[in-house]
Amino acid sequence: MQPSTTIKRTPFYDFHRALGAKMVEFAGFEMPVRYTGDVHEHRCVRERAGLFDISHMGEFHVEGPGALEFLNRAITNDLAAAAAGQAVYSPMCRPDGGIVDDLLVYRFADHFMVVVNASNIAKDFDWLRGQCPQGVRLEDRSDRTALLAVQGPKAPDVLRGLVPDAALDLGYYRFMTGRLLGIESVISRTGYTGEDGFELYFDARSAAPVWEGLMRAGKERLEPVGLGARDTLRLEVGYMLYGNDIDDTTSPLEAGLGWTVKLKKGEFVGREMLVGQKEQGLERKLAGFALDGRRVPRHDMAIESGGRGVGRVTSGTFGPSLERPIGMGYVEAALAETGTALEVRVGEALLPARVVARPFYTRGSRRA
Amino acid sequence: MGYPADVRYTREHEWARLGGGQVTVGITSYATEQLGDVVFVELPAVGKEVEAGKPFGVVEAVKTVSDLYAPVSGRVVEVNVALAANPALVNQQPFGDGWMIRIAPRDAAQMSTLLSNDEYGKMVEEQHA
């Protein structure tokens, strides 16, 4: 049975409409895909700063004795190695090593905030609830949380004076609580663009003054950016999109996320399978490839080598900053080596492609 | 918003303008809004025969790709070579410098089978609703 669904709106919906954004449904939300144009918005983020409404993403609050152990058992990265004020990117795996979701865990002094993909909010909440021990409180705060990202080399300039000075000194993947335009917020130096920037979490009821305040302060340095450019920006730096590049059937090792899998941290869900994969070697790997022409690889197109199908494109786009088409897809491990020649099938045509190192784009302002 | 009255339209969002015995073809402003930024237009060679309702090329945008359908049958007599260096013309002037091909039609009366601007506008409105 198809459950009846209503399309949700973020608290910034009226601003998107007033700006004339083209709206699309994404993960059950009516979201702005573009305001002016994908390439313009993409360049705005690479050169100045962009304002993204990503309030569709989910936020879970986790608190109580045993919360750290609970979360650390659910994810592959090591939350215990993070100090308070640090955010950790991690896959959350099934026992068979498939990825339930990729998420951010924020470690506060006395609780945690788990930020998940919009398309996975219900799935992740159920998944975590099934593992949640007595005494740990797990709460879905997605609907009451607004989330904006300010991304680009000018992001610190835009936020200067609107956030505590200390926020501008935060290192990458560090965060603090503080006032943003007078509104209590979580100010995080994270992002999905390859550029310097911040992600800002606050009460959805303060959406209007924060959006207006940021736009006013941003002046010509800041423009709203839609999901279209968000995707080209993330793909140019090789970040995963759940549902495309990773899902329940792909493992973090196959996806090249081995740096987030801490096999020595102790027991966690999926560990046994991942240890096995590591010992036996991977059958397939996610390869990034670039094309010379102007035809663009698209999701689900076949990848071929020597006349036989060897995989499918998971994500593909024209890269505005690279000025060439790029893509990713799972192929036999031997074919994922940098420099390997592949072909992407588009109807009758075979487009020559070459495996290249990720990130594709390396000139971003992101500070490690 | 109205669409130009001096051209006819296909249901696949191409426009066709008859002038000097030739039919100039492009895509509508509505199509460019749906596609987003165009990065490449694959066009047929001059001299190629195209069939009404059949694909004659491909338009690649950053986020999406679409076939181009011939509004009328005939022989391609000219292609817009400016699009190779500047595909953004399609977004900037869809009804003008962003044109794609010129066709010597086999039967210019085929133009009358295409939609008027009012009919096209109505169709877009219905699709959008």
Instruction: Locate the chain A residue with the closest alpha carbon to B88.
Output: A39
Q: Does B63 touch chain A (CB under 8 A)?
A: yes
Residues 262-291 of A with CB under 8 A from B: none
- 8 Å CB contact of A37 and B33: no
pLDDT tens column, B70-117: 999 999 999 999 999 999 999 999 999 999 999 999 999 999 999 999
pLDDT for res B129: 63
Q: Starting at the edge strand that comes first in sequence, how are the strands of the sheet with A86-93 ordered?
A: A86-93, A99-107, A111-116, A58-63, A137-140
Q: How much of chain B, in percent, has pLDDT values that exceed 90? A: 95
SS3 letters for B74-108?
Answer: EEEEEECCHHHHCCCHHHHCCCCCCCCEEEEECCH
pLDDT along chain A (368 residues), means of 10: 74 98 96 96 98 98 98 98 98 98 98 98 98 97 98 98 98 98 98 98 98 97 98 98 98 98 98 98 98 94 96 97 97 97 93 96 84
Q: Does B61 touch chain A (CB under 8 A)?
A: yes
- Which of B57-79 are b and which e, b meaning 16 or more Cβ less than 10 Å from the residue's Cβ? bbbbbbbbbbebbbbbbbebeeb
- 8 Å CB contact of A294 and B61: no
Structure tokens that stand for B54 in this block: 């059949």
Instruction: Locate the chain B residue with the closest alpha carbon to A324.
Output: B39
> Count of CB atoms within 10 A of residue A287's CB?
28
pLDDT bin (cut points 50, 70, 90) of residue B8 is very high
Distance (Å, rounded) from C-alpha A128 to C-alpha A110?
Answer: 19
Q: Does B96 touch chain A (CB under 8 A)?
A: no
Distance (Å, rounded) from C-alpha A109 to C-alpha B93?
Answer: 56
> Beta strand pairing status for A137-140 and A302-305?
unpaired
- Which chain B residues have a beta carbon less than 8 Å from that of A345? none
Describe the crossing of helices A38-47 and A227-236 by its angle, rounded to 10 degrees.
60
Task: Choose the closest CB to B60 out of A40, A232, A294.
Answer: A294
Any residues with CB less than 8 A from the CB of A206 and at least 6 apart, and which? A146, A183
Task: Choose the closest CB to A38 out of B37, B42, B60.
Answer: B37
Write out the E strands in chain A: 22-26, 29-34, 49-53, 58-63, 86-93, 99-107, 111-116, 137-140, 145-151, 175-180, 183-188, 197-203, 222-224, 284-291, 302-305, 308-319, 324-332, 341-346, 349-356
pLDDT for res A347: 85
pLDDT for res A1: 46
pLDDT for res A5: 67
- 8 Å CB contact of A295 and B62: no
pLDDT for res B127: 83
Q: Is the dihedral of CA A111, A117, A120, A121 positive or negative?
A: positive
Q: Does A296 touch chain B (CB under 8 A)?
A: yes
pLDDT bin (cut points 50, 70, 90) of residue B1 is low
Distance (Å, rounded) from C-alpha A106 to C-alpha A173?
Answer: 9
- 8 Å CB contact of A232 and B63: yes
pLDDT bin (cut points 50, 70, 90) of residue B2 is confident
> Beta strand pairing status for B55-61 and B38-42?
antiparallel
- 8 Å CB contact of B36 and A294: no
Distance (Å, rounded) from C-alpha A264 to C-alpha A277?
Answer: 15
pLDDT for res A366: 87
Any residues with CB less than 8 A from the CB of B25 and at least 6 apart, and which? B14, B15, B16, B17, B68, B70, B71, B99, B100, B101, B102, B103
User: Of A185, A184, A183, which Cα lies nearest the Cα of A209?
Assistant: A183
- 8 Å CB contact of B62 and A318: yes
Q: Are A288 and A355 in contact (CB under 8 A)?
A: yes
Residue recorded with tokens 């009404």: B52
Any residues with CB less than 8 A from the CB of A340 and at least 6 apart, and which? A287, A305, A354, A355
- Which chain A residues have a beta carbon less than 8 Å from that of B128? none
When the pLDDT of each residue in chain B is averaged and rounded to a whole number, the result is 96
With 0-12 / 13-18 / 19 or more C-beta atoms within 10 angstroms meaning exposed / middle / buried, residue B47 is exposed
pLDDT tens column, A202-243: 999 999 999 999 999 999 999 999 999 999 999 999 999 999
Tell me the C-alpha to C-alpha distance, in Å, between residue B69 and each of A11, A360, B9, B11, B16.
Answer: 40, 34, 11, 10, 11
| Residue B57 parent element (H or E) | strand B55-61
pLDDT for res A21: 97
> Count of CB atoms within 10 A of residue A197's CB?
30
User: Of A268, A327, A334, A338, which Cα lies nearest the Cα of A296?
Assistant: A327
Q: Does B86 touch chain A (CB under 8 A)?
A: no
